[in-house]
Amino acid sequence: MTAGTRVLISSSQIAARVNELAAEIERDYTDGPLYLISVLKGSFIFVADLARAFRRLQVRIEFMAISSYGQGQTSSGQVKLTRDLDVPIEGHHILIVEDIIDSGVTLSYLKRLLEHRKPKSLAIATLLDKPEKRVQPVDVKYTGFRIPDEFVVGYGLDFAEDYRNLSDIRILD
Ligand code: IMP
Ligand code: MG
């Protein structure tokens, strides 16, 4: 399962950074609930760990699904909403939780979509950022790791639906 891959970020490095992010987020929100909007499928492990790292803040978890990549390693540039939220977000603090930001196309689409629903606040947390590939600038408030322009898998991230269950983040060679 890990043949042809090499570790970029180990599970213990991820765990330490996720705890730091949760602490940082908790410092910024004095009133809850904070709605964590997990963008499926890639962020399902990140959101599960992040949510459990909060100590004080009232947190709720909701899911959306977006597809932009198809089966390949390069973005189609087309974003499709495949599953919407099933709760209104008007008047609530919203934190979009993503696995990775690459071109920025997905997150700028999502941000625009949710802004129209009049949340009390709207911010983005991403575990990984590949800044070299940015096509659309996006204001990301919380970033786990900035990584080089390599295709990565594991900890929720896939290549053609494989590798999501790996504990480390690995480069696919
Ligand atoms: P963007 O729209 O180009 O920013 O792409 C964001 C989406 O592409 C992410 O939510 C991922 O699903 C996918 N993606 C981008 N880079 C990678 C990668 O290195 N590994 C796995 N998925 C990726
Ligand atoms: Mg994704």
First to last CA, the chain: 13
Instruction: Give the pLDDT band of residue 79 (cuts 50, 70, 90).
Output: confident
Residue 71 has pLDDT above 90, yes or no: no
Ligand 1 mutation pick, 157, 166, 171, max ligand atoms within 8 A of CB: 157
Active site residue 102: yes
Strand pairing report for 169-172 and 5-9: antiparallel
Percentage of the chain beyond pLDDT 70 is 95
Model pTM score: 0.95
With contact defined as beta carbons under 8 Å apart, do 117 and 133 qualify?
Answer: no
